[in-house]
Amino acid sequence: MSSTTDKIKGLANEAVGNAKQAIGKATGNERLRSEGEVQETKGEAQQLVGKAKDAVKSAADAVKKGIDRV
């Protein structure tokens, strides 16, 4: 999965998680609120994976540029 895909899926999971939490709180449904927390956390983790992939790619590109100069 690409870094962009990870970040987009992460944002979507965060949004759905936040909605579930709000609905769960409003209706008194503790299970739905808990599911929302888990989904939000999953989304945050997905975004971190996407950002880490970007950082690794940037570092690899920088190394490649350095090697190409030699």
**How far apart are alpha carbons 39 and 42 in whole angstroms?**
5
Task: Write the CA distances from 20 to 3, 9, 27, integer angstroms.
Answer: 26, 16, 10
For residue 66, give both structure tokens: 């350095």
Percent of the chain at pLDDT above 70?
A: 99
- Which of 39, 46, 44 has its CA nearest to residue 19? 39
pLDDT band per the 50, 70, 90 thresholds, residue 70: low
Contact call for residues 46 and 8 (beta carbons, < 8 A) = no
pLDDT (0 to 100) of residue 15: 97
User: For the whole prediction, is pTM greater than 0.85?
Assistant: no
Residue 2's φ and ψ, nearest 5 degrees, are -75, 165
pLDDT in tens, 42-57: 999 999 999 999 999 9
User: Domain boundaries in the chain?
Assistant: 3-69
